[in-house]
Amino acid sequence: MPILSDLSESSPPDDLHDPRDLDPEAFRRAGYAVTDWIVEYLAHPERWPVQPDVAPGALLEKLPAEAPAQPSSQEDILADFERTILPHAMHWNHPGFMGYFSAGGSCPGILAETLIAALNNIGLLWSSSPALAELEERTLQWLGKLLGLPASWFAMIHGTASAASLHAMIAAREFAAARAEQAGASLDLNRLVIYTSEQAHSSVEKTTAALGTGREACRKIAVDERYAMKPAALREAIASDCRQGFAPVAIVATVGTTGCTAVDPVPALADIAAEHGLWLHVDAAYAGAAAMLPEMRPYFAGCERADSFVVNPHKWMFVPMDLTAFYTARPEYLRKALSLVPEYLRSREYDRTVNYMEYAVPLGRRFRALKLWYVFRSLGAERIAAAVREHIRLARWLADQADASPGFERMAPTHFSLVCLRFRPPGASEEETDAANERLLYAINATGEFFLSHVRLRGRYAIRVAIGNLRTTEAHVRRLWERMQELAHADANGR
């Protein structure tokens, strides 16, 4: 049932007396209407299937080939949004959304996004928006403290963890070049290599592609039975590369890998990095939020010895996409690599201020810090931490159900709020089991109640249940478990 039901097909755009923009009163009405729509949307997310049941290209077919030449009324636009666009949207804020890493935004985050758009501040240098620059500095200090990161670290916001990790590797390359220079040598950029685990996110491999050294320059190190990088295999790979004249520059460790939330042994990797003078970057894009909880801190042991660290508050801290927090102990290498200050961007205060453009490829930056500030102000760090703790509890509950059920098995340790499991149809081969689990995943998603995703672990198909939405409760997870069992057994009986 649509939220908007009684709108005329096409009302005239009477809100454009001002030829430049909406009239203030028209904007007020439209703003209230959008707010009302959002309130209803979030109050009853079950109104829509989590995943839209649409074929590729279906929305394209409905959209005109040319941009609208004439204005439409705000009522028409909102109605068209609901009628035409919404049926093709995935409902990431739905409590049954448990795919990828579930990333539900909070209402304060939505309000902050509105204010961000209203101010439309663009961070270039400090003086292009002092509020943006100083709020970014302070909110990232808050976050860093909550996560137990060293207070001395420099921090800045990126749009994605992929962008942050690329910046970490740009700094690592600069660091390696400086070390080579100190030793009276020069770094052969074509021979540069970095190390990460077989389970690392694809964004790590992309960094070497983007740096121009090719994807093969990203060495994928073998993992142990818990999917964590093997330090001995890393040592061997470094030794072998050094013998062949390659130039190791960085190790990228992950705390909470994408596939199954494995935790690399950061203390051992930090030792290896120190021995070889390598940059250590920690990708905690998803799991970093759990460092707020004292009982989860052991998973982050050694992170304080890293050269850089990334966490995505837009994944598991209820900040709407996009907000990545990037920390580094050595910002001078980023600045050395990327600082280019044209005359028009110099100001009298320049040398007394932090100017983020010197530490990043993009010049302009959004006022994302306002979202972090707003969410922290509205929910408070304790509530955010409590929600993360509850998600971990729910994941453990589900993991226990799978362990206790002879028809199911868990495919990886459940460290955080992700459960990797599969159905084991009686007497089925590995290939048949893979196929059955793929069918099960599609059957669950077709219910419209839930959306899950999958991973292959040691070649075998596993279903990922990622809990991380503010609106997901124990009742939702219990219902999912019931539906999974029903659908799995129906599939097994039907064959």
The least CB distance from residue 105 to ligand PLP, in Å, is 14
Interface map 91-130 toward ligand PLP (x if CB under 6 A)? ----------x-----------------------------
Are 409 and 424 contacting, i.e. CB atoms less than 8 angstroms apart?
yes
Shortest distance, position 136 Cβ to ligand PLP, whole Å:
17
Shortest Å, Cβ 156 to ligand PLP: 15
- The residues, any chain, with a CB within 8 Å of residue 471's CB and separated by 6 or more, are 42, 45, 93, 94, 95, 104
Stretch that binds ligand PLP, among 159-167, 405-413, 421-429, 459-467 (CB under 6 A): 159-167
Round to whole Å and give the CA distance between 439 and 493.
13
Q: Report the chain's C-alpha Rg in angstroms.
A: 25
Among 312, 401, 417, 445, binds ligand PLP (CB under 6 A): 312
Distance CA(302)–CA(205), nearest Å, equals 23
**According to CB under 6 A, which one of 97, 286, 316, 481 is a site residue for ligand PLP?**
286
Residue 139 or 258: the one with the smaller Cβ distance to ligand PLP is: 258
Q: Does 285 bind ligand PLP (CB under 6 A)?
A: yes
Q: Nearest Cα to 41, choosing from 88, 80, 4? A: 4
Shortest distance in whole angstroms from residue 92 CB to ligand PLP:
13
Q: Is 477 helix (H, G, I), strand (E, B) or coil?
A: helix
DSSP string for residues in 58-76? HHHHHS-SS--SS---HHH
- Is residue 259 within 8 A of residue 227, CB to CB? The reply is yes
Contact status: 282 vs ligand PLP (CB under 6 A): no
Using the rule CB under 6 A, give the single segment among 35-43, 111-119, 253-261, 474-482 that binds ligand PLP. Answer: 253-261
Alpha helices in 297-406 (DSSP H): 313-316, 331-338, 369-379, 381-404
Binds ligand PLP (CB under 6 A): choice among 72, 141, 160, 447: 160
Q: How many chain residues interact with ligand PLP (CB under 6 A)?
A: 14
Residue indicated by tokens 């919404």: 86
Which of 201/371 has CB closer to ligand PLP?
A: 201
Q: How far is the CB of 286 from ligand PLP (least distance, A)?
A: 5
Is residue 258 at the binding interface for ligand PLP, with CB under 6 A as the rule? yes
Q: Which amino acid is at 432?
A: E
Among 161, 385, 441, 480, binds ligand PLP (CB under 6 A): 161
What is the 8-class DSSP label of residue 457? Answer: E
> Could you say which residues in the range 428-487 bind ligand PLP, by CB under 6 A?
none
Closest CA to 387 of 420, 417, 419, 415: 417
Burial class (CB within 10 angstroms; exposed 0-12, middle 13-18, buried 19+) of 449: middle
Residue with token string 């790590």? 204
Closer CB to ligand PLP, 127 or 160, in the complex: 160
State in angstroms the smallest separation of the CB of 103 from ligand PLP: 9
Shortest Å, Cβ 88 to ligand PLP: 21
**Distance of closest approach, residue 166 Cβ to ligand PLP, in angstroms:** 9
- Helix/strand/coil for 317: coil
Long-range pairs for 107-113: beta carbons < 8 A, 24 or more residues apart: 107/42, 107/378, 108/374, 108/375, 108/377, 108/378, 108/379, 109/318, 109/319, 109/320, 109/371, 109/374, 109/375, 110/38, 110/320, 111/374, 112/370, 112/371, 112/373, 112/374, 112/375, 113/320, 113/371
User: Whose Cβ is closer to ligand PLP: residue 73's or residue 464's?
Assistant: 464
Binding mask 52-91 for ligand PLP (x = CB under 6 A): ----------------------------------------
197 binds ligand PLP (CB under 6 A): no
Containing H/E element for 121?
Answer: none
Question: Tokens 């959008």 appear where?
Answer: 34
What's the closest the beta carbon of residue 200 comes to ligand PLP, in angstroms?
7
CB 136, CB 364: distance < 8 Å:
no
Q: Which stretch binds ligand PLP (CB under 6 A): 224-232, 282-290, 377-385, 431-439?
A: 282-290
- We find the least distance from the C-beta atom of residue 390 to ligand PLP, in angstroms, to be 21
Q: Does 174 bind ligand PLP (CB under 6 A)?
A: no
Q: Is the peptide bond before 322 cis (omega within 30 degrees of 0)?
A: yes
- Using CB under 6 A, pick the residue from 74, 128, 162, 207 that binds ligand PLP: 162
Instruction: Return the residue of 51, 254, 308, 445 that touches ligand PLP, per CB under 6 A.
Output: 254
- Cβ–Cβ under 8 Å, residues 312 and 291: no
Given the rule CB under 6 A, which of 190-198, 212-220, 283-291, 420-428 is the region that contacts ligand PLP? 283-291
Where does this chain bind ligand PLP (CB under 6 A)?
101, 160-162, 201, 203, 254, 257-258, 283, 285-286, 312, 324
